[in-house]
Amino acid sequence: MKETLQKIKEETIKKIQSSGDLDNLNEVRVAVLGKKGELTSLLKSMKDVAPEDRPAFGQLVNQARTEIEAALENAKKTMEEKQLDMRLKSEVIDVTLPSKKLKAGHRHPNTIALEEVERIFTGMGYEVVEGPEVERDYYNFEALNIPANHPAKDEQDTFYINKDILLRTQTSGVQVRVMEKQKPPIRMIAPGRVFRADEVDATHSPSFHQIEGMVIDKDVTFADLKGTLAEFAKEMFGEDTKVKFRPHHFPFTEPSAEMDVSCFKCGGKGCRFCKGEGWIEILGCGMVHPKVLQGCNIDPEEYSGFAFGVGLERIALLKYEIDDMRLLYENDERFLEQF
């Protein structure tokens, strides 16, 4: 019996050592210590041992059992450690690998140009206001001294919703909306989308943007208009920019003018950019017409003011030397990424 016990112990320890993985190790455990295991059966055959030898034999079996259990536990631990080691090695993360680039969008050239215009005018104390894109005929035309038979009101120029409501063709209506609500002094710019029934080409689009500007106060003169817009031109296009005013006609200003800036590409000598002129037209302006002031209950004897309207796309095209307006609306990333 003793020899059998010794043999079981030795063989089991060998099997444990060569078991290799946790599954095999478990098989070894069941084969020895399980219900039908070798050691269990040996204990069951205790009845064959002489009664006086039983305690000593029992002790031997228990000792063998403890040793086997310790060996099993040991082997299990080593194997688990080895397994963890292998997992750590195979699941290693290379933190030095370059990451996937996040594609962040950025501002559209129109937006960049608008923010620049807003920065310049808010710096001079102007407020930025907005008006509706779907506008009343009254604000878009009538209150601006544009008579019923004016060509700008033609259906070929204007998108009408009905007789009284239309998609605004200019931001000038915001002047009236502001003057109706606010008493002078007023200093405001009003950027926004406008609509005209134009075919798309390199310089036209049925939808584009304008920035309206207006100042109303006591003793405002054409000299204030010139000084303000000359300053704007310098900030927008460079310190050396000169301005030139040409007489023009707008129904809502008197006198009216168009303003040109000296070509910032050639400095005024004449180049391909300014078509040899040395000057580039950038906006319309004038002294607010007394009829427009009166319509808003502002006394033209007491107050005067100037107004101007700039095309936002025109500024963006000039500033970034883009030669086709359509590029601004196509949203081609290869184009937009350049700004």
Cα R_g (the chain), whole angstroms: 45
CB closer to ligand DAH, 38 vs 258? 258
Q: Cβ of residue 231: shortest distance to ligand DAH, in angstroms?
A: 17
Which part of the chain contacts ligand DAH (CB under 6 A), choosing from 7-15, 83-91, 267-275, 307-315? 307-315
How far, in Å, CA of 288 to CA of 306, rounded?
5
Q: Cβ of residue 192: shortest distance to ligand DAH, in angstroms?
A: 12
How far, in Å, CA of 296 to CA of 174, rounded?
12
CB closer to ligand DAH, 22 vs 142? 142
CB closer to ligand DAH, 141 vs 279? 141
Q: For ligand DAH, what does the binding mask look like between residues 72 and 111, x meaning CB under 6 A?
A: ----------------------------------------
Q: Cβ of residue 339: shortest distance to ligand DAH, in angstroms?
A: 26
How far, in Å, CA of 169 to CA of 254, rounded?
20
25 in contact with ligand DAH (CB under 6 A): no
52 Cβ neighbours under 8 A, 6+ residues apart? none
Short-list 164, 88, 96, 168, CA closest to 130: 168
Q: Which two tokens stand for residue 332?
A: 């081609």
Q: For ligand DAH, what does the binding mask look like between residues 266 and 285, x meaning CB under 6 A?
A: ------------------xx
Among 188, 307, 316, 317, binds ligand DAH (CB under 6 A): 307
CB closer to ligand DAH, 145 vs 253? 253
Among 109, 184, 268, 309, binds ligand DAH (CB under 6 A): 309
How far, in Å, CA of 63 to CA of 51, rounded?
19
Helix, strand, coil % over all residues of the chain, rounded to 5: 45, 20, 35
Q: Are strands 165-167 and 186-195 parallel, antiparallel or unpaired?
A: unpaired
CB closer to ligand DAH, 15 vs 196? 196
CB closer to ligand DAH, 37 vs 309? 309
Point out the residue whose Cβ comes nearest to ligand DAH: 309
CB closer to ligand DAH, 25 vs 285? 285
Q: Cβ of residue 140: shortest distance to ligand DAH, in angstroms?
A: 10
139 in contact with ligand DAH (CB under 6 A): no
Among 37, 192, 286, 305, binds ligand DAH (CB under 6 A): 286
Q: How many secondary structure helices (H) and strands (E) does the chain include?
A: 12, 9
Q: Cβ of residue 202: shortest distance to ligand DAH, in angstroms?
A: 19
Q: Strand (E) positions, the chain?
A: 127-128, 134-136, 165-167, 186-195, 207-217, 243-250, 253-262, 279-288, 304-311
308 in contact with ligand DAH (CB under 6 A): yes
191 in contact with ligand DAH (CB under 6 A): no
Count of alpha carbons within 13 angstroms of residue 236, beta-carbon side: 31
How many beta carbons lie within 10 A of that of residue 227, not counting itself?
11
250 in contact with ligand DAH (CB under 6 A): yes
253 in contact with ligand DAH (CB under 6 A): yes
Phi then psi for 55, rounded to 5 degrees? Answer: -60, -45
First to last CA, the chain: 93
254 Cβ neighbours under 8 A, 6+ residues apart? 286, 287, 289, 290
184 in contact with ligand DAH (CB under 6 A): no
212 in contact with ligand DAH (CB under 6 A): yes
Beta bridge partners of 306: 215, 287
Chain contacts with ligand DAH (rule: CB under 6 A) = 170, 172, 212, 250, 253, 284-286, 307-309
